[in-house]
Amino acid sequence: MRPSILRRLFRRVASTATLALVAATLSTVAAARPAAAAGGLEQVTGFGTNPGNLQMYEYAPAGLPANAPLVIALHGCTQTADAYYTHSGWPKYADLWGFAVVFPQTTSANNALSCFGWFDPAEDTRGKGEAASIVQMVEYAKQQYGSDARRVYVTGLSAGGGMTADLLAAYPDVFAGGSVASGLPAQCATSQSAASGCQTGPQKLTAAQWGDKVRGSYPGYSGPWPRVAIWQGTSDYTVYPANATALRDQWTDVWGIGQTPSSTDTLPGNTTRSVYNDADATGKPAVATYSVSGMGHGLAVGPGSGTGQCGSTAAYFLNTICSTYYTGVFWGLDRGTPGGGDRLPAPSGLRVTAVTAHSASLSWNAVPGAASYTVHRNGTKVASPTSTTYTDTGLIAGTAYQYTVTTVDGSGTPGTASPQVTATTTGGTPAQCFTATNYAHVTAGRAHTTGGYTYANGSNENMGLYNVFVTHTLRESPAGHFVIADSGCAT
């Protein structure tokens, strides 16, 4: 579609978020899921005066104890609370780690494309509009579940990410942390006409000027500040990667810690993580950026049953890495400590030292303070050695296995997981790889369909919608067992 046509369309759509979001999301309007609650997701009415005219949906595991954390999850344009609940992975970790999740929903009554008003001072500032409605949902959920007021977090995608940044700036007394996925810096735009420029290239401000936008959102507030995770695809042409840089500059300046990372490492899905520790004696992570190489506009998900795998693919839910898992760990939801900075670091140097037809040997570098280590194979715990070597036995010949290792301190508290390595056992029938559309995989007997979605035979991994527009690489090993291998298919 020509830019001139898009501009005319933009002017005709009342309160539309931005021209770029129109271009990116028109293709999914017809496919948007209905607003009706899914299994486990419940709508709440009467949560407050609701000045922003939002809908509230919530999910909480059975038997949730008092003083558990609370997460607010904001969908992107054309999406719904149900879609975010279904594909983002948050319900999995609510069950696993024990917390409640609120899914606010805006509708076409507020915005023609159901975008949160991250660019509108009447919606995204303290005490006003949608921002005030979301905080009313927080207060309602805290009373309903007895949630810990010190551990309330907010996350969002795209327009929801922009609103997340605005909420962190306007309500740092409410939110202990946030996660902005493919989103915008706080108060990047204060009008609809300025919004498009923010997406394609935010203002070239200094870190202090970006920080001032946060400090100006709640004058007189002196901290503590929220801990902020920033997720961005390097091939995002809807919300350009420059926004992640601006977000990094903004929140490191607020924390007063500069823009040089304390550490950088590599995660699955071609993801680079840079961590910026706070300046106090404990040096907890205050800001972290996650740059996903080659990913476009969307929320990073990593379907699978492993602890670090989550979500399912759909429009703007992209199969790369489970961002929800790493966000939860960054906040400390996996053990209830905001920031997670008191956990031991990941073992470095994890490597495969030997393989046979039925075993794989690993080694890694020692971590000071570690009482033991936990070895995970394909996301499942298989051993807890006290040494820095381990041999995994009873494996299938000619099969690839993924391993990570986590440190455990003397109190039994797990640390950060290492980057993943792959060990392929010898012998057996060589693995085969197949790249095709979901429709072709089903036709060839490598996958099956349920409820309009495609699942790999054997592993049952969610491959996304059953159509000819979604393509995956499947690796077969052993015979009849298929796993998604989009990031590389070693045979």
- The DSSP result for 160-186, as a single string, is HHHHHHHHHHH-TTT-SEEEEES---T
Same domain, 356 and 477: no
Determine the pLDDT at residue 12.
34
- The number of domains in the chain is 3
CB of 43 closer than 8 Å to CB of 141: no
Pick the catalytic residue from 158, 182, 323, 477: 158
Token pair, residue 393, equals 């036995």
Same domain, 186 and 304: yes
Same domain, 390 and 257: no
Is 148 within the bounds of a domain?
yes
Determine the pLDDT at residue 7.
35
Q: Per residue of the chain (491 residues), what is the pLDDT tens digit?
A: 333 333 333 333 333 434 334 333 323 332 333 333 334 899 999 999 999 999 999 999 988 989 999 999 999 999 999 999 999 999 999 999 999 999 999 999 999 999 999 999 999 999 999 999 999 999 999 999 999 999 999 999 999 999 999 999 999 999 999 999 999 999 999 988 888 889 998 888 999 999 999 999 999 998 899 999 999 999 999 999 999 999 999 999 999 999 999 989 889 999 999 999 988 756 789 999 999 999 999 999 999 998 899 999 999 999 999 999 999 999 999 864 333 345 677 888 999 999 998 999 999 999 887 888 989 888 778 999 999 999 999 988 888 888 989 888 765 667 777 888 889 888 876 678 899 999 999 999 999 988 788 989 988 888 988 888 889 999 887 778 888 888 777 65
Say how many C-beta atoms besides its own lie within 10 A of residue 94's C-beta. 23
Determine the pLDDT at residue 127.
97
Determine the pLDDT at residue 73.
98
* Closest to 219 (Cα-Cα) out of 253, 150, 170, 165: 170
Q: Which amino acid is present at 232?
A: Q
Determine the pLDDT at residue 417.
77
Which of 393, 424, 455 marks a domain boundary?
Answer: 424
Q: Which residue range forms the structural domain that includes residue 477?
A: 432-484
Same domain, 126 and 206: yes
Is 336 within the bounds of a domain?
no
Same domain, 235 and 368: no
Question: What phi, psi does 62 have (nearest 5°)?
Answer: -65, 140
Same domain, 220 and 295: yes
CB of 92 closer than 8 Å to CB of 310: yes
The H-assigned helical ranges of 289-417 are 323-331
State yes or no: is 274 an active-site residue.
Answer: no
CATH number of residue 237's parent domain: 3.40.50.1820
Any idea which residue has 């271009």 for tokens?
23
SS3 488: coil
Determine the pLDDT at residue 4.
35
* Closest to 257 (Cα-Cα) out of 236, 227, 231, 294: 227
Same domain, 236 and 358: no
| Cα-based torsion angle of the residue sequence 406, 409, 414, 415 in order, rounded to the nearest 10 degrees | -60
Same domain, 402 and 469: no
